[in-house]
Amino acid sequence: MSHSVDLRGELPLYLARLWRYGLVLSRKRDVAEDLVQATCLRALEKSSQFVPGTRLDRWLFTILHSVWINQVRATQLTQQQNIDESDELAFQVSDSDADHLWAQQVRERINRLPEAQRNAVFLVYVEGFTYQEAAETLAVPVGTIMSRLANARQALAKAVVPGVRQTRRRER
């Protein structure tokens, strides 16, 4: 008898995070919802492949990324769409106008990043994955994640928000 996770019971705990990642990948609410649905279906179908004791969120994010890649290959989606204004609720911002404007500017800059950098930024900085976990999720070497993050930080730093002081930090 194998020790298994109650996947049906656990999936609802990850839906919001999966949807948010689907939105980062696709930039469209309806596509994000479809990605989450396909991810849940595939996870349930392949539940025997989940290794108890490992992180379910990483496994689900890996499935979602795989579903996305397969969808992109199948439909040749272009990456020129932007997150609609109605999708702002996916990103929690405070009520102050200055904070809202700042969050909007950051979101716009992140949207202009290449998809590979956007994915790395989301997984590491939003979801809190380690570089190794992000690399495994995206099936790339950890050095690639580090490079993508460095390039993303450099691109984001070039467009400094007025009134925000930029500090230079040496990373080791």
Q: How far apart are CA 19 and CA 31, in angstroms?
A: 9
Q: Which fold has domain 94-161?
A: Arc Repressor Mutant, subunit A (1.10.10)
Q: What is the pLDDT of residues 74-132, one digit of tens each?
A: 664 443 344 444 454 455 544 566 666 777 777 788 888 898 999 899 899 888 999 99
Domain with residues 1-79, CATH architecture: Orthogonal Bundle (1.10)
Token reading at 62:
């890996």
- Let me know how long the chain is: 172
Give yes or no for residue 52 having a pLDDT over 70.
yes
pTM of the model: 0.61
Q: Do domains 1-79 and 94-161 have the same CATH topology?
A: no
Residue from 112, 110, 121 nearest 147 by CA: 121
* Residue extents of the structural domains in the chain: 1-79, 94-161
